Chain A
Amino acid sequence: MSLFLRNVRGRALPRPLPTFALLTGIFFLLFSLWSLATPLMGVPDEPAHAIKAAAVVRGQVLVEDGTSFGHGVHVRVPNYIASLHAQSCYKFNRTQAADCAAPIYVDDTFTNIGVTSAGSYNPMYYWIVGLPTLFLSGAPAIYGMRLVSALLCAVFFAAGFTALTELRRPKYAVLVAALAMTPMVLFLGGGINPNSLEIAATMAAFSGFVVVLDNRQGTKRVLPALATVAAATVVLANARQISLVWLLCALIVGVCSFRLRRVVTVFKDRRVLTAVALAVPGALLGLLWMYIAANGPANVGVAPEGIASPHPDAPLYRGFIIMLDQTYDFFPQYIGTMGWLDTPVPELVALVWGGLMIAGLVVPFCVRPLRNWTGYWVALAMLYLVPALLQTALWRGMGFIWQGRYTLPLVVVLFISVGLGLRKLRFPGGALAQRISRVFFWLIVGSHTLAFVYVLRRYVVGISEIANWQTLFSSPHWQPPLGWLALTILYLLVTAVGALLLFRYLHPGTPLVNGSLFRKPGIRSVQDVPAAETAPQEDGEPAASGTASGAKSI
């Protein structure tokens, strides 16, 4: 932690590696706790992705002729994996606890046919995530897959945040990015689904890219950020086909967040060109895969039962208009609709993030000049248009299949662009700001934990009309590994540590716990004073609010 603080305070000596390691650890713990809290196959489409991963590590990379059927692609995997679709008794039904699911046996390893609707997806993510099934079996192997996926995501989120701390004025961007880590983002990070890696890599690519643009004259200082962009680009090109769209969106928003002249300068830099040269082969591999997949057997003939609703004769513009109309209907899914779209987070949690998101969307209208917000305007326009265009393209064949989680990479970029737009304002460090900060940080920690324990309640006893919290203690039907209570306490601790780190980063030298909340009004502690009123300005912050940068609030 001290390393983290030193890094932040003394920017003469950037130490991104310890920061990166610390953040990787925190994200990994958060995702792992979600991995344990969610019953196996409780993450959307998890069986299809788990089966695909087990097939890819067994050399079944391409879709062979004669293996593609209406319900998906047939692969040969151990029976405990081939049977994962059977873990479905609680799907779409939040009143049903997870104890109805059959055990996944360690010795059920004879080779059987598995059916996956992810058959033609790029094998990269699956090859890494499937590795634990080569030396583990049964439920431990599936948890192993989840943990590998969680580690991958943690690495990219940590790289993205580490990059953001290298902005010349990083605090707003880091704060908003942290708030954009909604319960949904953390939940997805615990499952087997490349959707989570896509969010993490898009966030990392965007963050690294804007840091490079922000440090155009000192790219040597931000080599880790540059490496992050290159790695994230390769990952996105080799994740899902749609991932390249998110990468493109992120790069466009990044370019629009700075002056064009600066962008041109950056792309003349030797180090940047080297990074591009390193990323291009990986990206080409991704494109090659798309070509192979497009010319191979079909991935799946029909959308999952209950979701598919083809409209072969439907006018396309109508699908587009319907999606535009529903733009804000997806926000609850950005915040948290866990399980198989069956468990929305409690209203309190939705309200907290709803308020934060609305504030984020409105802030740009309050801070002038508006041209500083070009990146934000473009990202906002993308939030309206890109999902609508993509869904419209799919409408006739598959019906309305769009889910909020598909758009999360863009949502995270949108909110970080808000943080970027605010960067020219002085970050408030006064006693009042710290006090407000403290309350809000605890509110966020509490909300994250409430979402977590609510989802546990859903799986341990089922959500019923009556407030059945007490039955978690008295008659739990299902228990996750370590038990729900231990997981909840651990989750509270890890989110609190994360909040503590962030708070100390934003308000150096000021503790999150030892705040004025617990003191009598009118008495100020010595600790409150120096950070706000006597400490020197941090490197990178303007000398005075607004005037140094030309920005002003209205």
Chain B
Amino acid sequence: MKGTYVSYSPDGSAAGLKAFQDGQAQFAVGSAPLTDSQASSVRGMCTTKGAMSIAAGVLPVGVAIKLKGVNDIILDAKTLAQILQGGITRWNDPAVAALNPDAKLPDVAITVLVQEGPADTVRPVNSYLKDAGTNWNPPAEDRWPGSVKGQVQSPPLDLANKLDDTNGGLSILDGSIIGNRFVAAQLVFDGKPQRLQASSVVDAVSTGNVTVSADAITQELDGRSGYALATVIYMYLCRQYTDERMGQLVRSFGESALSEEAQKNANAYAFVMSPSKKAMNEGRALVKAIGDGQ
């Protein structure tokens, strides 16, 4: 649609959701689907039909490591949980060494540097550690348990700079920031180490479970197929807008965001993968039906 534009405010997903609920935004973006009660209670610009959540992208999350002389390392959920909580404090700890028998691990202290929650990168790590059966009890899905060390109030890019200056440092960062700057640990899923790379994430997405309902298209990642630590990006849109012309604008935006071109650009510029084909098709159908009495 020509002559319109999208204004982005870098305030975080919580502020975005609140703005959406208050009628201060036509749509918002977050890292988890709205619950049924959340979706049906959203008003703002929505009619009584409430809102819906549509998976629109998958942003890999990595365990970033800065350790001189080490270019590859494997961690599993149990070890990672112990490191984050200060149970393992040195890189040559026997538990780490057992996972990396061929690596020469230095006797260097582990410095944990993580973004204080709520943060979208926290959610998949919490989920990974909980699903693996570790004793992991976060106060909320996007917050760290209080026992996690090294929580700092820095935006991700500042956190990356700090990690760069810390030999022995470990952080949780999204894949686009890790890039080639840091070593991303291989993580063990279903007993098998998986490397943080696009093809592995795409494999985990393609066999991941997709749920479809009138108010949500959700995407999960399958750790049996590939690297499954990732934030799924959801668009929150009204199912119907109180002003049909607003509905047209949002429909246009949604179709654009889910178009092949936009998805390719997201991958090229921001290391964001597409949801599975099924999720995309179902998402497009829901967007197309905005305001159609669905």
Contact = CB atoms under 8 A, between A and B. Distances in A.
B263 to A, nearest CB: 23
Contact of B24 (A69, A79, A85, A111): A69
Nearest to B26: A113
Interface in A36-70: 66-67, 69-70
B240 to A, nearest CB: 15
Nearest to B249: A112
A85 B5 contact: yes
Interface string A98-117: 00001111001011110100
A71 interface: yes
A70 B2 CA distance: 25
Contacts of A103: 2-3
Nearest to A300: B9
Contacts of B25: 113
Contacts of B4: 83, 86, 102
Interface of B: 2-5, 7-11, 15, 18-19, 22, 24-26, 243, 245-246, 249
A74 interface: yes
B68 to A, nearest CB: 27
A493 to B, nearest CB: 35
A108 B248 CA distance: 13
A357 interface: no
Q: Which of B5, B19, B246, B249 has the most CB of A within 10 A?
A: B5
Interface residues of A, number: 24
A102 B10 contact: no
A45 B3 CA distance: 18
Nearest to B1: A102
Contact of A110 (B2, B11, B15, B243): B243
B11 A69 contact: yes
A70 B24 CA distance: 13
A104 B4 CA distance: 10
8 tightest CB-CB pairs across the interface, nearest first? A102-B3, A86-B5, A71-B9, A69-B9, A70-B9, A102-B2, A70-B11, A110-B245
A540 interface: no
Contacts of A67: 24
A83 B3 contact: yes
A112 B5 contact: no
Contact of B11 (A86, A104, A301): A301
Nearest to A86: B5
B158 to A, nearest CB: 10
A290 interface: no
A5 interface: no
Main secondary structure on A side of the interface with B? loop
Given A70-B9, A301-B11, A110 B246 contact: yes
A315 B18 CA distance: 37
B2 A69 contact: no
A302 interface: yes
A113 B24 contact: yes
Given A69-B15, A110-B246, A85 B9 contact: no
B7 A71 contact: yes
Contacts of B19: 66, 69, 74
B5 A83 contact: yes
B22 A66 contact: yes
Contacts of B246: 110, 112
Contacts of A83: 3-5
A115 to B, nearest CB: 5
Contacts of A112: 246, 249
Contacts of A71: 7-10
13 contacts: A66-B22, A70-B10, A70-B11, A71-B10, A72-B7, A74-B19, A83-B3, A83-B5, A85-B5, A111-B243, A112-B249, A115-B9, A301-B9
Given A70-B9, A70-B10, A104 B3 contact: yes
Contacts of A102: 2-4
Contacts of B249: 112
A67 B18 CA distance: 11
B152 to A, nearest CB: 15
Given A102-B2, A110-B246, A113-B26, A85 B7 contact: yes
Interface in A87-140: 88, 102-105, 108, 110-113, 115
A112 B250 CA distance: 12
Given A102-B3, A105-B3, A74 B24 contact: yes
B23 to A, nearest CB: 9
Nearest to B45: A113
A69 B15 CA distance: 9
Interface in A350-397: none
B156 to A, nearest CB: 16
Q: Which of B2, B7, B8 has the most CB of A within 10 A?
A: B7
Nearest to A79: B245
A301 B155 CA distance: 15
Contacts of A74: 19, 24
Nearest to A108: B3
A83 B19 CA distance: 19
Nearest to B11: A70
Contacts of B8: 71
A115 B7 contact: yes
A110 B242 CA distance: 12
Nearest to A67: B24
A86 B18 CA distance: 25
